[in-house]
Amino acid sequence: MYVWFTALAGLAALFLSFSRKLFPYFAQDCTYILRSIKLGARLTKYKKVKPFYSIVDCFLDAAKRHPSKTFLHFEGREYSYGEVDGQSNKVARALRAAAGLKEGETVALFLANEPGFVWTWLGLAKLGCPAALLNFNIRAKSLLHCFSCCGAKVIVTSAELLDAVVEVLPTLREQGISVYLLSEACNVTGINTLLNKISQASDEPLPRDLRANVSIRSTALYIYTSGTTGLPKAAVVTHERVWAASFIQSVCGVTSDDIFYINLPLYHSAGFLIGMGGAIERGMTIFLRKKFSASQFWDDCRKYNVTVMQYIGETLRYLCNSPMKENEKNHRVRIAIGNGVRTDIWKEFLNRFGDIKVRELYAATEGNIGFINYTSKIGAVGRVNAVHRFFFPYTLIKFDIAKEEPVRNAEGLCIEAARGETGLLVGKVTQRSPFVGYAGNQHQTEKKRLRNVLKKGDLYFNTGDLLRFDHENFMYFQDRVGDTFRWKGENVATSEVADILLMAHGILEANVYGVKVEGHEGRIGMAAVVLKEGEDFDCLDTCKQVCNYLPSYARPRFIRIQPCLEMTGTFKMKKVRLVEEGFDPAHIEDPLYFLDSEKKTYIRLTETIYRAIISREIKL
Ligand SMILES: *[C@@H]1O[C@H](CO)[C@@H](O)[C@H](O)[C@H]1NC(C)=O
Ligand SMILES: *[C@@H]1O[C@H](CO)[C@@H](O)[C@H](O)[C@H]1NC(C)=O
Ligand SMILES: *[C@@H]1O[C@H](CO)[C@@H](O)[C@H](O)[C@H]1NC(C)=O
């Protein structure tokens, strides 16, 4: 039924796009729709079979099909599908015996990228236990917060993160939490060793009925949103969502013969779901690295015959910033999957590293909509596709940047943005595209819900992202709500300002934000920049670039020179602290500059100038 319906809707949509003379993209639209229909049908099948066929069952099938095929390459060692399968059986048995784990009980993983992360998760999944993937960079209060919102009673960690756990151990013990360390020995009281128990456990397969109750709607994982603001939120990831994300590689044309490079953290959806989940779905080989390294990147790709890479946030820029080399185009990478690349970097990346198909996608861990740019349109995150939109209704609505809320009409309903106009992306919450929300955080969950959008009583998921659809149906990511600020009654998109700053001589990276100035409405532009090695801040050239390319309200009036920019674990720039710190030279040690519009250059921001600005002697 589903398949027929989809096929009919697909044909209708194709006819429409055809008749609208969108001929150039006809074939690509077709391929995409057909692939999506196939995947939709597969998901429907998995939903129906009893017991439910999860990603773990898919792994088991792959391990049966090719037990000796390499699943993971890590630090010079290979681990076959069979080996990882056996190891995960041992982990599951050891944890079941030691912690008495039962189906449905959550276990927190506090681990860096390593094979142990993969088989511990697999072991838990075989027991039907959801895993909470803690960000290994968090400490103290934030760690406790993340841990407690998923309701886990057990935490598994490794020796390298022991100090962080010891720091919060008294609180964990008070709450009756057991800590297991992936080590043979440990001299801290209150911490259990796990490796010795694993090595003694049997690697016999586990009975399937241990996870008999797992269904497509059960929680598979908790993944923490990397928010550039506030404490992380635990997004509830169901098995349905795991499948949807795992299909992305397939939609992008990745095959089981490809080799996938994971260097993004496994605690996040990009690395874990799209990367590892997708690799399991394809039955392919993963080259796993502890962390991203721009200088090692291409050598790794050559050495391990990588064919598919992943990027996020700023990582493509880091690759483009690395020094030119002779053999740059000499590699086998054919597809790059990710999100958040800017148009200029996208072009430079293709110029330097050759013909790589960039598959830019748009999605949020907790969101209920996603897009893939399946054509060859630079800069687009996807295409408005009637079939997709029929099954996963979404729209763009007019958004008031100053109030940071949607514009509403007299009846209290939102207003759809016109084509070509930037609007807030909202996805209708339906059976097929649910919004599960955040664990233990009703307040934040409610904040992402938007009611009375197009009709009284309807419910949408608020992505917090501003997008634009063009006349050819391509969609473009514009900015995060909050990353766009308002000054002199105009909206300033920080990403556009950053693109201009990067054209100035000597600037390597730029993080643009708006700061409050007493007595002024809105926020004025400011940028934290990192300079290229050995370069000074070029006051004249920077001024020339921003004045040539940006309207006066969008020009960053303050520049703060930093040795490096603070990033989230997924390479998104952190802004909140910078915004709070403002531009007072008495409180900021970094060199500060001020754009003097009369002298047409940036000048050092001194105490005197600061006071003149605050007292409004200098007009902004
Ligand atoms: C499955 O759920 C039922 C009812 O909720 C429960 O009685 C049963 O013990 C569960 N099975 C397992 C394996 O946990
Ligand atoms: C990469 O491919 C080459 C040639 O096909 C092969 O000799 C080599 O062993 C491969 N490297 C790895 C790490 O698999
Ligand atoms: C998206 O557009 C870029 C721009 O050319 C293109 O290179 C890339 O292949 C496209 N992505 C997909 C998914 O085709």
Nearest C-alpha to atom 14 of ligand 2 is from which residue? 304
Task: Tell me the pLDDT tens digit for each residue of 249-258.
Answer: 988 889 999 9
- Determine the pLDDT at residue 23: 56
- Which atom of ligand 2 lies at the shortest distance from residue 305's CA? 1
Task: Tell me the pLDDT tens digit for each residue of 65-111.
Answer: 999 999 999 999 999 999 999 999 999 999 999 999 999 999 999 99
162 is written with which tokens?
């022991």
Nearest C-alpha to atom 3 of ligand 2 is from which residue? 305
Task: Tell me the pLDDT tens digit for each residue of 366-401.
Answer: 666 776 666 656 677 777 777 777 777 888 999 987
- Which atom of ligand 1 lies at the shortest distance from residue 211's CA? 13
Pocket of ligand 2 contains residue 441 by CB under 6 Å: no
- Which atom of ligand 2 lies at the shortest distance from residue 304's CA? 13
- Both 425 and 499 in one domain: the answer is no
Give the Å distance between the CA of 360 and the centre of ligand 1: 42
Nearest C-alpha to atom 7 of ligand 1 is from which residue? 213
Pocket of ligand 2 contains residue 215 by CB under 6 Å: no
Given 238, 268, 290, which residue is the final one in a domain?
A: 238
Pocket of ligand 2 contains residue 78 by CB under 6 Å: no
Mean pLDDT over 217-237 rounds to 78
pLDDT band, residue 228 (cuts 50/70/90): very low
468: containing domain: 382-480
Q: Which of 187-201, 229-243, 325-339, 416-430 is the least confident region? A: 229-243
- Both 94 and 234 in one domain: the answer is yes
Q: What's the structural domain count of the chain?
A: 3
For residue 266, tell me if it sits in a domain.
no
**Three-state secondary structure call for residue 185:** coil
Kindly identify the ligand whose nearest atom is closest to the C-alpha of 206.
1
**Three-state secondary structure call for residue 408:** strand
The pTM score is 0.79
Mean pLDDT over 274-281 rounds to 96
Pocket of ligand 2 contains residue 218 by CB under 6 Å: no
- Both 117 and 211 in one domain: the answer is yes
Pocket of ligand 2 contains residue 304 by CB under 6 Å: yes
- Both 472 and 523 in one domain: the answer is no
Pocket of ligand 1 contains residue 584 by CB under 6 Å: no
CA trace torsion 243, 249, 254, 260 (10° rounding): -100
Average pLDDT, the chain: 86
Mean pLDDT over 3-15 rounds to 49
- Both 88 and 219 in one domain: the answer is yes
**Distance from C-alpha of 545 to C-alpha of 506, rounded to nearest angstrom:** 12
Pocket of ligand 1 contains residue 213 by CB under 6 Å: yes
Task: Say how far residue 417 (Cα) sits from the centre of its chain.
Answer: 26
CATH number at residue 108: 3.40.50.980
Contact 232, 226 (CB under 8 A): yes
For residue 353, tell me if it sits in a domain.
no
Looking at the predicted structure, is the pLDDT value of residue 10 above 70?
A: no
Pocket of ligand 1 contains residue 105 by CB under 6 Å: no
Looking at the predicted structure, is the pLDDT value of residue 37 above 50?
A: yes
- Both 423 and 557 in one domain: the answer is no
Give the Å distance between the CA of 209 and the centre of ligand 1: 10
Pocket of ligand 1 contains residue 78 by CB under 6 Å: no
Mean pLDDT over 136-155 rounds to 85
- Determine the pLDDT at residue 22: 45
Measured CA to CA in angstroms, residue 499 lies from 495, 545, 546, 555 at distances of: 6, 10, 10, 12
Pocket of ligand 1 contains residue 212 by CB under 6 Å: yes
- Both 496 and 474 in one domain: the answer is no
